Structure 1
Amino acid sequence: MKYGKFAAVYDGLMEDIPYEKYVEWVASHVPSGKLLDVACGTGTLSQLFAEMGYEVTASDLSEDMLTVANQRFQEANQSIPVLQLSMDNLEGLAGFDIVTIAIDSLNYLQSGEQVRQTFREAYEALNSGGHFFFDVHSVFKVDKVYMDSPFVYDAEEIAYIWHTEPGEAEHSVIHDMTFFVRQNGLFERFEETHEQMTFPVDVYIKWLEEAGFSIESITADFSDQAPDEESERIFFYAKK
């Protein structure tokens, strides 16, 4: 997927995401180490991990996202290697203590086999005893919460109208977004269509175990609580 203009507005749209809690979650289990931030987007989380002292490598499939990430790292005087890679093909990367796939990035994969391959790639990238952290949308969020669209966002520089509809696959959603971004006093309009897919928790567990991981914890919604039927974001911590 090419994100184009979306990369330029991504950080504004994600400003309510508690990235610091994500870092705290990882640090509470693994306080240091060599970390691969897969699907890093514009690099917000990579930057925070680096500030905490982790040795960070950032990867993403989108050249546009990586351009923004590189600029972020340069402005912060951080030396973070950046790689353009798909999360289901990490091209033989190895030697990491930690792999993260954050903020529902895994849900952009378009088949169960891609998810399974991503788990295998993460496993191979980790040292023995390495740690794997990721989160996904719950089935409840995809099937119920997202179907309450349209959603509207209106800020000083950015506004959007966000429509959703079920995708062809079970537990999938199509996001159709129309953006209005202020440019030199005028608003430029552009459109984006994204598709996401998720799976029940027990399916993710099965695939993680097939890849060789042991499950350390499964929690929900940036808390230490186990998921319930109306949890919206599920957090997995697994170990090689």
Structure 2
Amino acid sequence: MAYEQFSRLYDDLMEDAPYDQWVTFVKRASKFADRPIHHILDIGCGTGEISLRLAQLGYALTGVDISDDMLAIAQEKALEDNRLFPLFQQDMRELSLSDTFDMAIIFCDSLNYLESLNDVKETFIKVYEHLNGGGLLLFDVHSLHKINELFVNRQFCLNEDKVAYIWESFPGPEPNSVYHDLTFFSELPSGLYQRFDETHFQKTYSVKEYLNALQEAGLCCLNLSADFTSLAPNEESERVFFIAKKDLGS
């Protein structure tokens, strides 16, 4: 995926994203920890919206993202808020940091950008290696229902003063996958508009497949919920949340 131009508009497009609800999920999930949560690894941190909110609550943060452009924006925000924390450009499947963490988070369906179940497993293995004993992994993914019923063959549009887009979603090459074709029109300082196009690929799996991948990585799933509630997922759920843990003695 190309992020260079997308990263400039990302925060505008995500202005109404439920970042505070992800933060609430972190606080709620902390009750599953064997020890107090201090150091959090934010994988797929993007422009740092969740990282910064957690840092403001007193957590020590480290952010990882595959996009240098996203990380540059995250660093600018941290500087403005006087809350500098380490940021690393890395692929989550190849995570390699010198620290270990009390909690790792992979939010905003970042896992759905991985192209295979093996990629998901590799990511979980790398997370396991970077968690302290008893450490937690929290993540959310699109449900099968959302990919197949709410995305595929749908069109979404936005028309605002400085930015507009046309977003069309098409079936991907494999079951439970989707291509998002996006055409953006962004206002330049001259008042003219620049067009650019991007294609994003996402894929999801059944809850059982995610649970098996966690187990193979040595992580035990403690809790499943849906759509920022404490309720268990059902066939109409759109976003599935997982809380998994590394064994205390590991």
Q: Residue 177 of structure 1 aligns to a residue in which SS?
A: strand
Would you say 1:224 and 2:221 are equivalent positions? no
Kept in 2: contact 1:32–1:53 (CA 8 A):
no
Looking at structure 1, the residues matched to 57 and 37 of structure 2 have their Cα atoms a distance apart, in angstroms, of 8
Would you say 1:172 and 2:159 are equivalent positions? no
Deviation at 1:92, TM superposition (A): 4.6
Would you say 1:95 and 2:106 are equivalent positions? no
Looking at structure 2, the residues matched to 127 and 163 of structure 1 have their Cα atoms a distance apart, in angstroms, of 42
Question: Stretches of 4+ moved more than 3 A in 1?
Answer: none
Deviation at 1:93, TM superposition (A): 4.3
Deviation at 1:125, TM superposition (A): 0.5
Deviation at 1:131, TM superposition (A): 0.6
- The 5 Å alignment of 1:3-14 reads 3-14=3-14
How many pairs does the alignment contain? 240
Match of 1:70 among 57, 67, 75: 75
Looking at structure 2, the residues matched to 15 and 21 of structure 1 have their Cα atoms a distance apart, in angstroms, of 14
Give unpaired runs (5+ residues) of structure 1: none
**Letter paired with 1:65:** M
Structure 1 residues 93 and 2: CA distance shift in structure 2, 3 A:
farther
Give unpaired runs (5+ residues) of structure 2: 31-35
**Letter paired with 1:7:** S
Would you say 1:107 and 2:112 are equivalent positions? yes
Looking at structure 2, the residues matched to 8 and 67 of structure 1 have their Cα atoms a distance apart, in angstroms, of 10
Would you say 1:40 and 2:45 are equivalent positions? yes
Looking at structure 2, the residues matched to 122 and 67 of structure 1 have their Cα atoms a distance apart, in angstroms, of 23
Kept in 2: contact 1:92–1:125 (CA 8 A):
yes
More moved, 124-133 vs 66-75: 66-75
2:210 corresponding residue in structure 1: 204
Looking at structure 2, the residues matched to 16 and 218 of structure 1 have their Cα atoms a distance apart, in angstroms, of 25
State percent identity of aligned pairs: 44
Looking at structure 2, the residues matched to 112 and 138 of structure 1 have their Cα atoms a distance apart, in angstroms, of 15
TM-score, scaled relative to structure 1: 0.97
Q: Residue 217 of structure 1 aligns to a residue in which SS?
A: strand
Q: Describe the superposition over 1:128-175 as per-residue Cα deviations: whole angstroms up to 9, x where unpaired.
A: 000100000011111110024211111222110001111111110000
Match of 1:150 among 136, 143, 155: 155
Looking at structure 2, the residues matched to 76 and 44 of structure 1 have their Cα atoms a distance apart, in angstroms, of 12
Would you say 1:190 and 2:196 are equivalent positions? yes
Q: Residue 170 of structure 1 aligns to a residue in which SS?
A: coil
Looking at structure 2, the residues matched to 92 and 56 of structure 1 have their Cα atoms a distance apart, in angstroms, of 13
Looking at structure 1, the residues matched to 52 and 11 of structure 2 have their Cα atoms a distance apart, in angstroms, of 13
**Letter paired with 1:228:** N
Looking at structure 2, the residues matched to 172 and 148 of structure 1 have their Cα atoms a distance apart, in angstroms, of 12
Deviation at 1:29, TM superposition (A): 2.6
Q: Residue 78 of structure 2 aligns to a residue in which SS?
A: helix
Q: Describe the superposition over 1:63-102 as per-residue Cα deviations: whole angstroms up to 9, x where unpaired.
A: 1111111111111111110101101111154420000011
TM-score, scaled relative to structure 2: 0.93
Kept in 2: contact 1:23–1:49 (CA 8 A):
yes
